[in-house]
Structure 1
Amino acid sequence: MPPFDTVPLFDAAPLFDAVVVAGGRASRLGGFPKPLLRIGGQTLLERALRAVSAAGTVVVVGPAPDPAEAPAHEDPGPTVLYTLEEPRFGGPLAAVGSGVRALAGRAGTRAPWTAVLAADLPRAAEAFAPLAVAAAGEPACAGIAAQDETGRLQPLLALYRSDELARALEALAAQGGLADRPLRHLVARLDLLPLQLPPGLADDVDTWEAAARWGIRRPDAPGAAAHGEDPSMSEPSTPGQRPTDGPEQDAVLHAWCDELAEGLGLSGLEVDVDAVLGLAGVAAHTVLRPAAPLTTFLAAYAAGLAVGRGQAEPGEASGAAVSAALRITRARRAAGTEG
């Protein structure tokens, strides 16, 4: 089993506030909240709070715990506030936006730096400490983000300059909103300095398989059974096999789309990959992860029928079907929120 973090509280950290992303449906864990998984006698949320215990104010974006079970933190410790992402289950970018807004709404002066940390990192303190030390040197950048052993940037393990983070989030919110958008849209707007971490420090707990590698046992509690989990959609267990992100991922997806279209006798078909993936993301957050391929398949089927009946050209039919499916899915989410 990997060693647990033993990094003491550091004195070299710059002045910072923190946003801890602790929401989401945890569909790969059958709905059991990842932040409440216990490792080394602490929940993952407690470990995240320990990692940012030098912060002035911490906003946890996720359900507030029962007062009797509230995570403990060092005394004197930071002020810990709780909020929910808007819209609920709108994805990690929406969660970061809600956390930053909560920080802006409190009394006091904004700290020059804002830490953003996922609440599912077993070695949170050990992973965050090098970022804080690097930020204390005031590098000429908009932020410092961890980079894992595969070269993948980790925007949920990072320190951002508060003003630049807020501006980037405001711009994205004004251009289509933050819900159901990938974090790479945020990363693309910021000049981030990557900081390579030793192997394993940036690993998270996203599936029961990953939990088992950290010695976390499947809890005997409501929601622990993976009735909503699709093992085929779990993260690969080998770090080198993890999916890429950014331009490399876009190139792979577009090339695969062209190859698949040709193999299906649809050569020359123009596919709005971002729109289809956006629909899949909304369906996964709103219903269950397996709803993503089901929703996109039905949208494609509807588009095909429209073309076959002569009601629309392929591109027009595809866009209309995706838009219609998106409206239906978001209406379902709104109805669930109101209820």
Structure 2
Amino acid sequence: MTDNVLAAHSAPGAPVPYDAVVLAGGAARRLGGADKPGLRVGGRALLDRVLTACAGACTTVVVAVPRATVRPVRWVREEPPGAGPVAALEAGLRLITAERAVVLSADLPFLGQAALERLLAALRDTDADGALLTDSTGREQPLVAAYRTGALRRELAALTVAHGGLTGLPLRRLTGALRLIRVPDPLASFDCDTWDDIANARARIREHGHVLDEWISAVKDELGITLDVDTGMLLDLARDAAHGVARPAAPLTTFLVGYAAARGGQGPEAVAEAARKAAALALRWEEESNGGEDGSSGGPGAPDAG
């Protein structure tokens, strides 16, 4: 049972503790049997993108054959392998302890932490059993959802008794017995079932307005960086260095800022302070090359007067 309630923006509050269960099995028949979790969008495997989105989970369980991933997770398989999403979810729930569980498929290229926080906040503010995303057509996405773990376990036990097991049961048999609320989010709920979906996702991240954030996220994943910094500040620094010194100064300066902050073992504040100092230096450098504070014509490239 689903309530047509919802909240595009939830009230602020403390972060809600949760565990995550990611279903990464399935035959991917509409993709010709391809390894869907391993398909890349923006240079990152779909599974890794989902794992980045739920990095705030206390415990993350992936139901699939183990593989290399962007961060450590716990692995489990449904019994028997290939028994379907309900059996896979039950297997994942065995390894978590939090009162709330975020349940995700492994094919969500645009899922982010903010969408999960909205789901958890919506669930926190009601007595519903769960909160799920809906797409642009209003279609519910039960594998982009936050649930009360106790409610899932209760209904899974009931299904096991009623059907003698969970093998082959469709997910709607489980979610149909739960009281759910809907959170519209066409982007975060977008999943990749076909090659056209993959192509559309790959094209979208290269659009102006998305490509820079996507690239920064990909680089951070590749390098194992979790630090969040103000990219606008770094771009301003790069602009100042390129304009006031020379174009190659832009990437070299931003590298040195990052190195300086890392050497100190500090967080975003250290990056901001190093960027401030470097930006001020670039402006002084430009000022000198334009004539100096006293209006003289000497610059870095000027010959010695003596």
Return the TM-score normalized by structure 1: 0.53
* CA spacing shift, 1:30–1:123, aligned 2, 3 Å: same
The aligned residue for residue 241 of structure 1 is none
Q: CA deviation at 1:215?
A: 2.1
Question: Aligned with 1:175: secondary structure?
Answer: helix
Question: Aligned with 1:131: secondary structure?
Answer: helix
- Note the residue ranges of structure 2 that are not aligned, 5 or more in a row: 1-11, 204-306
* 8 Å contact from structure 1 (residues 85, 94) kept in 2: yes
* CA spacing shift, 1:139–1:90, aligned 2, 3 Å: same
* 8 Å contact from structure 2 (residues 135, 141) kept in 1: yes
Rounded to whole Å, the distance in 1 between the matches of 2:191 and 2:35 is 14
- Note the residue ranges of structure 1 that are not aligned, 5 or more in a row: 1-9, 74-78, 104-109, 217-339
* 8 Å contact from structure 2 (residues 131, 147) kept in 1: yes
Please say if 1:100 is aligned against 2:100: no
Deviations 1:214-250 (A, max 9, x none): 228xxxxxxxxxxxxxxxxxxxxxxxxxxxxxxxxxx
Question: Aligned with 1:158: secondary structure?
Answer: strand
Please say if 1:188 is aligned against 2:169: no
Rounded to whole Å, the distance in 2 between the matches of 1:48 and 1:141 is 25
* CA spacing shift, 1:18–1:101, aligned 2, 3 Å: same
The aligned residue for residue 14 of structure 1 is 16
Rounded to whole Å, the distance in 1 between the matches of 2:59 and 2:178 is 23
Question: Aligned with 2:61: secondary structure?
Answer: strand
Rounded to whole Å, the distance in 1 between the matches of 2:15 and 2:24 is 23
Rounded to whole Å, the distance in 2 between the matches of 1:183 and 1:115 is 15
The aligned residue for residue 123 of structure 1 is 110
The residue identity in structure 2 corresponding to 1:51 is A
Rounded to whole Å, the distance in 2 between the matches of 1:19 and 1:113 is 11
The aligned residue for residue 121 of structure 2 is 133
The aligned residue for residue 79 of structure 2 is 86
Q: 1:26 aligns with which of 14, 20, 28?
A: 28
**Bigger mean CA offset, 54-63 vs 147-156:** 147-156
* 8 Å contact from structure 2 (residues 48, 69) kept in 1: yes
**Bigger mean CA offset, 114-123 vs 140-149:** 140-149
Rounded to whole Å, the distance in 1 between the matches of 2:136 and 2:117 is 17
Q: 2:130 aligns with which of 134, 137, 143?
A: 143
The residue identity in structure 2 corresponding to 1:130 is R
Question: Aligned with 2:95: secondary structure?
Answer: helix
* CA spacing shift, 1:120–1:12, aligned 2, 3 Å: farther
The CA RMSD measured in Å over matched residues stands at 1.9
Question: Aligned with 1:25: secondary structure?
Answer: coil
* 8 Å contact from structure 2 (residues 101, 147) kept in 1: yes
Aligned residues: 190
Rounded to whole Å, the distance in 2 between the matches of 1:16 and 1:43 is 23
Q: CA deviation at 1:12?
A: 4.3
The aligned residue for residue 43 of structure 1 is 45
Deviations 1:118-174 (A, max 9, x none): 000011215434213323x43211111112222222110100011111111111112
Rounded to whole Å, the distance in 2 between the matches of 1:55 and 1:200 is 21
Question: Aligned with 2:125: secondary structure?
Answer: coil
Please say if 1:175 is aligned against 2:162: yes
Return the TM-score normalized by structure 2: 0.58
The aligned residue for residue 219 of structure 2 is none
Deviations 1:50-76 (A, max 9, x none): 1111111111001101xxxx2123xxx
Map 1:269-280 → 2, pairs under 5 A: none
The aligned residue for residue 69 of structure 2 is 71
Q: CA deviation at 1:200?
A: 3.1
